């Protein structure tokens, strides 16, 4: 049983206080898939241009990621994003966004994907997210991400889409924007009324909070000694979170997602986000092993238990 | 065995999005003592003016806080501070600071204080902090707080003072300033070389991190549904932390402070800081019970365990 991941596969130009890379593999679906691939088989749905390099395909394939749904537009160019981070890396400024072939992305699922039970919808137009879900015959668990743009300008469509989701995974500023509440607990209560029965709010270096019903679980952020590049950390969190749940064969069709499993999924998400920051772009995933992941999970336990 | 708390007892004028109070009891020593008083007997060293109200003395006495060391200057006025908080309450602007009698504060310990083993030095001039410690005959555990002003303008004196401390408890911006390191883990490593073998870095609503040797412990901030007034939250954290350790009869003279006890002390600190924010000024301490504290401690465990 596989996880379907839908979203952007891109090239990024990134500058952090630790260095500058003009063009490297990036995109939400890339990070989500790489992180999830340590826990479960992954099938990607995305679009790239004729400039998409063989070595980048090879990296994804080396992690057993199924690329049948990776559409190639030979005459087009791959989505390109460039940004620069502030000294403390808590803020970034976008220098360039060339949507290229991503502008016309209309995800179509290959026949070989349609029986899969797990779906993570990366940040794309809400109606497209809904369209993807409709192509699955036996979806068991649906969740995803969104962003300020859709919350502000496509609110109606987004709310329609959210009704079908089991979980929503967004950052704190998006949660405040979506709910209209400044306080995180109140924001969560409002969002849980919109459809998803589980909500994860990411707080960057400060960790994440999981909400379900009247309960919540707080995970502090892993304290890294060196943050080289935070790009993709939130998507790697998402990949660890959904990857862990899919790998465990979770089935919420008879009620809420198991809260103990969700707690562990949040920690695995934090672990994957922390590894992502240790090198530029996706580089950490070139060498990362499941043993290192489990060791950091144990370290997390050690650093939070009382 | 009692805890000696040294620092400011003041009147505050505070404005938050939830309201405005022109003048109410405040000061670091006030919050530290009130919070610590739930765990251990407390003896205060501070100075107030002739305007210090009987009802404020009564509140402290109602918590069994020993005021023998509370100096009164009949012709002077009590330290007054006024500030206004931003909409998200993560920033505040100081509107007024009248040091008044606090400007000439030169703490002298009553004879009845000198045999006590536990000392918490609130944020005052580092040489004065050193002078207080010298007046104790059998001090077992010393720790305290400082601020940007002393770190910048009295660095030499502060470093001399820190050499005698078992623990330092400061916020993240102070830790960065003191160490010259942006990264929290590196900052902690540098500070632990300055003398204190235990360091607690407070991160406001995001919790706190405890460092000792090569180990650390992360406590997320308690998620409040309503933050009425964050004034005194950091000092209440300090009071819960040192109060718990003193109440447990901790004796680090044969080595490091016990790490398991320190973890629990950090959580009690977080618990006391969270209660402090629930009402204006010290108001929450007028009704707070030890049972409520222990219930929130359990809730913390529930919200962080995985």
pLDDT in tens, A177-228: 999 999 999 999 999 999 999 999 999 999 999 999 999 999 999 999 989 9
Chain B hits for A221, CB-CB cut-off 8 Å, are 218
> Would the CB atoms of A183 and B264 count as touching at under 8 Å?
no
pLDDT in tens, B168-220: 999 999 999 999 999 999 999 999 999 999 999 999 999 999 999 999 999 99
Q: Return the residue of B nearest to A227 by Cα.
A: B183
Please, how many CA atoms are within 13 Å of residue A13, restricted to the half-sphere of its CB?
13
Rg, C-alpha atoms of chain B: 18
When pLDDT is averaged across residues A155-177 and rounded to a whole number, the result is 97
> Would the CB atoms of A206 and B209 count as touching at under 8 Å?
no
Of A223, A266, A305, which is closest to B216 when you measure between CB atoms? Answer: A223
How many Å from the N-terminal Cα to the C-terminal Cα in chain B? 37
When pLDDT is averaged across residues A263-287 and rounded to a whole number, the result is 98
ipTM of model: 0.93
Of A184, A220, A267, which is closest to B218 when you measure between CB atoms? Answer: A220
Instruction: Compute the mean pLDDT over every residue in chain B, rounded to the nearest whole number.
Output: 96
DSSP for B154-181 reads SHHHHHHHHTT-SEEEEEHHHHHHHH--
> Would the CB atoms of B186 and A225 count as touching at under 8 Å?
yes
A72 lies within 8 A of chain B by CB? no
Give the B window 264-283 contacts with A, CB below 8 Å.
264, 266-267
| pLDDT of B254 higher than 80 | no
Please answer whether residues B39 and B247 qualify as being in contact, where contact means their C-beta atoms are separated by less than 8 angstroms: yes
Tokens 């241009």: give the residue.
A49
B297 lies within 8 A of chain A by CB? no
Whole-prediction pTM: 0.95
A263 lies within 8 A of chain B by CB? yes
pLDDT in tens, A80-134: 999 999 988 888 999 999 999 999 999 999 999 999 999 999 999 999 999 999 9
Four-residue CA torsion sign, B198, B255, A300, A85: positive
State residue A252's pLDDT score.
Answer: 85
Which of B128, B124, B139 minimizes the C-alpha distance to B2? B139
B214 lies within 8 A of chain A by CB? no
Q: How far is CA A69 from the centre of its chain?
A: 18
pLDDT in tens, B133-157: 999 999 999 999 999 999 999 999 9
| pLDDT of A254 higher than 80 | no
Q: Interhelix angle for B233-247 vs B28-36, to 10°?
A: 40
Of B88, B206, B216, which is closest to A303 when you measure between CB atoms? Answer: B216
Which range is least confidently modeled, A119-128, A235-244, B82-91? B82-91
> Would the CB atoms of B304 and A267 count as touching at under 8 Å?
no
The 3-state secondary structure of B198-266, one letter per residue = EEEEECHHHCEEEEECCEEEEECCCCCCCCCCCCCHHHHHHHHHHHHHHHCCCCHHHCCCCHHHHHHHH
| pLDDT of B119 higher than 80 | yes
When pLDDT is averaged across residues A10-20 and rounded to a whole number, the result is 96
Rg, C-alpha atoms of chain A: 18
pLDDT band at B299 (very low <50, low <70, confident <90, very high): very high
Q: Return the residue of B nearest to A268 by Cα.
A: B306
Taking the CA of residue A12 and the nearest CA in chain B, the distance in Å comes to 25
> Would the CB atoms of B216 and A226 count as touching at under 8 Å?
no
pLDDT band at B90 (very low <50, low <70, confident <90, very high): confident
State residue A230's pLDDT score.
Answer: 95
> Would the CB atoms of A218 and B183 count as touching at under 8 Å?
no
A218 lies within 8 A of chain B by CB? yes
Structure tokens of A282? 């996706």
> Would the CB atoms of B217 and A267 count as touching at under 8 Å?
no
**Selected residue of A190, A221, A306 to mutate for chain B interface (largest B Cβ count, 10 A):** A306
Chain B hits for A267, CB-CB cut-off 8 Å, are 306
State residue B88's pLDDT score.
Answer: 84
When pLDDT is averaged across residues B57-66 and rounded to a whole number, the result is 98
Q: Return the residue of B nearest to A266 by Cα.
A: B306
When pLDDT is averaged across residues A20-46 and rounded to a whole number, the result is 98
Q: For residue B14, give the DSSP letter.
A: E
Residues 6+ apart with CB under 8 A from A137: A114, A115
A216 lies within 8 A of chain B by CB? yes
When pLDDT is averaged across residues A300-304 and rounded to a whole number, the result is 96
Taking the CA of residue B213 and the nearest CA in chain A, the distance in Å comes to 13
Chain A / chain B CB contacts < 8 angstroms: 80
Percent of chain A with pLDDT strictly greater than 70: 100
State residue B155's pLDDT score.
Answer: 98
A224 lies within 8 A of chain B by CB? yes
Give the A window 73-112 contacts with B, CB below 8 Å.
87-88
Chain A hits for B185, CB-CB cut-off 8 Å, are 223-225
Which of B67, B76, B118, B129 minimizes the C-alpha distance to B99? B76
Taking the CA of residue A184 and the nearest CA in chain B, the distance in Å comes to 8
3-state secondary structure of B275: helix
């Amino acid at each position: 049983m596989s996880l379907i991941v839908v979203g952007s596969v891109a090239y990024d130009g990134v500058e952090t206080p630790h260095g500058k890379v003009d063009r490297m593999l990036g995109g939400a679906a890339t990070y989500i898939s790489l992180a999830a691939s340590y826990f479960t088989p992954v099938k990607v749905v995305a679009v790239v241009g004729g400039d998409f390099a063989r070595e980048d395909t090879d990296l994804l394939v080396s992690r057993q990621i199924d690329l049948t749904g990776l559409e190639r537009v030979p005459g087009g160019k791959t989505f390109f994003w460039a940004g620069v981070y502030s000294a403390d890396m808590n803020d970034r400024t976008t220098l360039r966004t060339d949507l290229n072939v991503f502008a016309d992305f209309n995800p179509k699922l290959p026949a070989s994907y349609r029986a899969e039970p797990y779906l993570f919808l990366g940040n794309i137009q809400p109606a497209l997210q809904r369209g993807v879900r409709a192509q699955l015959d036996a979806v068991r668990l649906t969740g995803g991400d969104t962003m300020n743009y859709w919350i502000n300008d496509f609110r109606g469509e987004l709310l329609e889409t959210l009704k079908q989701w089991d979980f929503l995974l967004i950052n704190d500023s998006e949660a405040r924007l979506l709910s209209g509440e400044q306080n995180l607990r109140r924001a969560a209560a409002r969002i849980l009324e919109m459809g998803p029965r589980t909500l994860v709010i990411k707080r960057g270096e400060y960790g994440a909070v999981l909400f379900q019903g009247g309960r919540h679980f707080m995970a502090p952020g892993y304290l890294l000694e060196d943050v080289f590049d935070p790009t993709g950390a939130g998507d790697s969190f998402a990949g660890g979170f959904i990857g862990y749940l899919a790998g465990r064969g979770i089935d919420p069709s008879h009620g809420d997602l198991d809260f103990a499993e969700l707690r562990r999924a949040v920690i695995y998400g934090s672990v994957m986000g922390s590894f992502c920051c240790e090198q530029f772009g996706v580089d950490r995933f070139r060498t990362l092993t499941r043993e290192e992941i489990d060791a950091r999970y144990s370290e997390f336990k050690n650093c939070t238990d009382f």
